[in-house]
Structure 1
Amino acid sequence: MRSGLGGRPARWMHRRALPAGLTFTLLVTVAACRPELTPPGAPISWPTASARHWQWQWQLDGVLDPEVEAEVFVLDPVDTTAAETAELRSRSRRLVCQVHIGSVQPTDPDASRYPAQVRGAPAARTGRVWLDVRQWEVLRPVLADRFRLCRGKGFGAVLFADADGYDKRSGFPLDFDHQLTFNRRVAELARSLDLSPGLLGDLAQVAALAPDFDFAVNEECVRLGQCDKLLPFTDAGKPVFHVEYSGATTDFCVTSVGYGFASIRKNRTLDAWRLPCSSP
């Protein structure tokens, strides 16, 4: 069973009521000592000086482990409860929700809001369906509500998944510029809703999109020999969160940390298990 703030038992330390004046003084003192939480929905800031030092967790499967020693958590906004995000925020964690902006799963709660004319070919191995990203007026309200869900649960950033349909067999004649325009529009939409935008994958467009995004997430750039394509982010002092699914950390960390990335080893299922690289 997942644990949250509501699962913690109350501890009553005094049997007698305290004088009203003393009670007020204690409450003020406790409030003053408690670390101030970022309000739900406030965008995450990414200080340049910390870009190379973040520890992060990416969990989309299994029971959430809130005790992972990481400052940044990337989570599913539907499966993650408000109680869980509240507990993580009480630990001063930075919360990122992952949203598929260029595809839809038939089982998504809002799948019926995507009309047939914007649905294309199925994505390989995922069961998702590519969307026609040229149809901004159709897609915008659905994405806006997905982002509002993130904000309402206390996330401060959003990671864009499937932001590269132009480079896949989407079923639509999408080109580089169609995707570039769409990704920039979605980043602007996220900012308008007080969410910091992050880019997952789409390496071919990183040089063009890095100014529009606050951070990036990458899968297996060491194994694929593609880490140099993420330099527009690190050169700008923006964090790159990187994961490898095979190999020992002693093999890939020296490369990824050398590029300035925050790197971990994960199972492909993205459950709670992780092995982090040491920060520089």
Structure 2
Amino acid sequence: MRLPVFVSVLLAAAFLAPAPARAEVKAAALPAPVACNGCWKPALNTSWDWQLISLPKKPYVNVQMFDIDGFAAADGVIVKSLKADKPGRRVVCYISAGSYEDWRPDAGRFPASALGKQLDDWEGERWLDIRQHTGRLGDIMKARLDMCKAAGFDAVEPDNVDGYTNDTGFPLTAADQLAYNAWFANEAHKRGMSVGLKNDVEQIPQLLPYYDFAVNEECWEHSECTTAQNGKYGYDQFVKAGKAVFQVEYNLATSTFCGKSNAQNFNSLKKTYDLDSYRVACR
């Protein structure tokens, strides 16, 4: 989901942190990427749909990939049905990796110390202290990945993995986010699933070796899709590495972004915020 950025919180945290702690963060090295040689690697041009408010219904739209809610599909029935409908179709498991959702069946497992501020406009959802991923929070996320694997999903889309740019209630740093996002990608690969980087556009250069594709919301509306727009980061870096970009706009007319997306070799859609069955593909 697209959320407002609170850069002042990040800057305040950086200046108020004690010097030794800042030195430790700078010195911390990311783990080596875990190889996933047998994982699905989507082609640059891959047709897709993204439905989260409910599961897809027959007749299914003729696309090569569906991205759907992992908990709603945990029994594996819809995953099998989608694959049987179109041989070679892949299915991506949506889970939130950076927020607590009070309606999920594992909500009672989250430690109170890991729950931060509520996400704007998302009732019942709170930011997580991702620094706790070495403890119980990490165990919860591993269990969610195990759920995706058991249901037959090919890949994972972890949402809300850019908390450090938001007002989470925790002094999260860019280094904290990199450590968590790299850890999460490695855990997905250990289970034989590919993984997509959701938003977090500023950290693309560092996270590109860990992620197999990208999922983005509204980068054209916010003028942050390409390295030419941003200076140091952009989704064209995924394409250059041979990794697919799945991109959605909600407010823009297709006439204003489809031509640009096609020129960049992005797989762009016009969707509603509900992420229902409405879909207009750019190609």
Instruction: Provide the rounded CA distance (Å) in 1 between the counterparts of 2:195 and 2:55.
Output: 26
Distance in 2, matches of 1:274 and 1:224, equals 21
SS at match of 2:186: helix
Pick aligned residue for 1:45 from 40, 45, 49: 40
Q: Taking structure 1 as reference, are residues 71 and 213 closer, same or farther at Cα in structure 2, changes over 3 Å only?
A: same
CA contact (8 A) 1:44 1:94 kept: no
**1:164 aligns to what?**
162
For the residues of structure 2 that align with 1:206 and 1:254, how far apart are their CA atoms?
23
Equivalent position of 1:20 in the other structure:
none
Q: CA deviation at 1:44?
A: 4.1
Q: Which of 33, 46, 51 in structure 2 is aligned with 1:54?
A: 46
Distance in 2 (alpha carbons) for counterparts of 1:160 and 1:206: 15
Cα 1:255–1:156 change in 2 (3 A) is: same
Q: What secondary structure does 1:96 align onto?
A: strand
Structure 1 residue 235 corresponds to structure 2 residue 227? no
Q: Quick check: 264-273 or 60-69, which moved more?
A: 60-69
Q: Which of the numbers 205, 208, 217 marks the counterpart of 1:207?
A: 205
Between the aligned partners of 2:98 and 2:253, the Cα distance in structure 1 is: 33
Query: Which residue of 1 is the match for residue 254 of structure 2?
Result: 249
Is the contact between residue 40 and residue 193 of structure 2 (CA under 8 Å) also seen in structure 1?
no
State the distance in 2 between where 1:222 and 1:112 align: 38
RMSD of the TM alignment (CA)? 1.5
Name the residue aligned to 2:32: none
Structure 1 match to 2:105 = 109
The Cα shift of 1:160 comes to: 1.2
1:134–1:178: 8 Å Cα contact kept in structure 2? yes
What's the % identity of the aligned pairs?
Answer: 35
Q: Which residue of 95, 100, 103 corresponds with 2:96?
A: 100
The higher radius of gyration belongs to: 1
Task: Report what 2:121 is aligned to.
Answer: 125
Amino acid at match of 1:226: E
**Residues 227, 256 of structure 1: 8 Å contact kept:** no
Task: Determine helix, strand or coil for the equivalent of 2:122.
Answer: coil
Q: Tell whether the 8 Å contact from 1:43 to 1:156 is kept in structure 2 after alignment.
A: no
User: What corresponds to 2:263 in structure 1?
Assistant: 258
How far is the alpha carbon of 1:43 from its aligned partner?
A: 6.0
- Tell me if structure 2 keeps the 8 A contact 1:210–1:233: yes
Which ranges of structure 2 fall in alignment gaps of 5 or more residues? 1-36, 227-233
1:133 and 1:59 map into 2 onto residues whose CA distance is 26
Gaps of 5+ in 1: 1-41
What secondary structure, in the 3-state scheme, does the structure 1 residue paired with 2:248 have?
strand
Structure-2 separation of matches of 1:170 and 1:277: 34
| Post-superposition CA distance 1:101-151 (Å, at most 9, x none) | 111111211011111111111111112111111112221111111111111
What is the 5 A alignment of 1:21-32? none
Q: Secondary structure at the match of 1:57?
A: strand
Secondary structure at the counterpart of residue 223 of structure 1 = coil
1:246 CA drift (Å): 2.4
Distance 1:110 1:198, change over 3 A: same
The aligned residue for residue 84 of structure 1 is 78
- Equivalent of 1:134 in 127, 131, 134: 131
CA contact (8 A) 2:98 2:160 kept: yes
Q: Distance in 1 between matches of 2:46 and 2:152?
A: 20
Question: What does residue 68 of structure 1 align with?
Answer: 61
TM-score calculated relative to the size of structure 1: 0.80
Q: CA–CA distance in 2 between the matches of 1:135 and 1:202? A: 19
Partner Cα separation in structure 2 for residue 245 and residue 173 of structure 1: 31
AA of the residue aligned to 2:130: V
Per the TM alignment, residue 247 of structure 1 is displaced from its structure 2 partner at its CA by 3.0
Q: 1:211 to 1:176 in 2, by over 3 A?
A: same
Any idea what SS the aligned residue of 1:212 has?
A: coil
Structure 1: how far apart are the matches of 2:222 and 2:240? 21
- Counterpart of 1:93 in structure 2: which amino acid? R
- Structure 1 residues 177 and 169, CA gap change in structure 2 (3 angstroms): same
User: TM-score, with normalisation over the residues of structure 2?
Assistant: 0.79
